[in-house]
Amino acid sequence: MTEHRYTLTLSCPDRVGIVAAVSGFVAQHGGWIVEASYHTDQETQLFFMRQEIRADSLPFDAAELRARFSKLANEFQMNWQVSDTKVKKRVVLLVSQQDHCLNDLLHRWRNGELQVDIPCVISNHEDLRGFVEWHGIPFHYVEMPNKNEQDKTPAFAEIARLFDTVRGDVMVLARFMQIVPPDLCTRYAGRIINIHHSFLPSFAGAKPYHQAYHRGVKLIGATCHYVSDELDAGPIIEQDTMRIDHGDTVEDMVRYGKDIEKAVLARGLRYHVEDRVLVCGNKTIVFR
């Protein structure tokens, strides 16, 4: 997208007049809506909306738009935000030793397909330092003890410090093979994205391809989801699968799966940075 736009996303208790009120507010100020999506969750009776507005159609900036919209938002008890497409999201990538997801995201970033800033990459291994620094991106090694989770507290505190120092917007676990502690899950709720190499909720945890092989499944997949304090159980953003058969080995599944993982993570991250994902309990509404 090259056109400068403001993206308004919101959720609130469903009632008559929400769309009319929001659209009327935009029209009152001469705003030009170029994309609009709506959804009501029948179980919770919450209403979800996403609108893109041409920035040059409004007589004020994003800050003034937020200030003026707040009165309407309070009237409808909205949980809302306005983002500016000129302000790129700051994405911090976390990796361990496998590089396929990292390589794919950096390629998309370099060719302009993924419109984000990547202020740094953090890893618990040194293996990918040269590759990351070749892209001109700072690489931070954080030692991660291979013991119990309590021993990893200082390491995760350092990861949080680095993330805050570079003013990260979203943390992406691009095959970062460590369990994020509950306090960080709470602290950055809705801001940590993981790629899990199975079609969740099947085969959560370690070695999902091995689990799938021994179960004799005919489909394998990958899941991009927000991280929560329950392992591999956070709100799902994007998934995909591919068919396999009895002749495929675990090694074949791992090889096939890498292609699925890359594509699913890239799509999920794109949806997030374009403000297309709204969380509803442990589900998501994704306005593609």
Q: Which residues are catalytic?
A: 232
Token pair belonging to 176:
């970062």
Taking residue 93's Cβ as centre, other Cβ atoms within 10 Å add up to 27
Rounded to a whole number of angstroms, the CA Rg of the chain reads: 21
φ, ψ (nearest 5 deg) of residue 4: -75, 125
What would the two tokens of residue 237 be? 């953003």
C-alpha 226/C-alpha 240 separation (Å) is 16
Are the C-beta atoms of residues 109 and 34 closer than 8 Å to each other?
no
Would you state the structure tokens that stand for residue 253, as one six-digit string? 């599944």
Burial of 33 (0-12, 13-18, 19+ CB in 10 A): middle
Please answer whether residues 163 and 192 qualify as being in contact, where contact means their C-beta atoms are separated by less than 8 angstroms.
no
Reduced to 3 states, what is the DSSP secondary structure of residue 143? Answer: coil
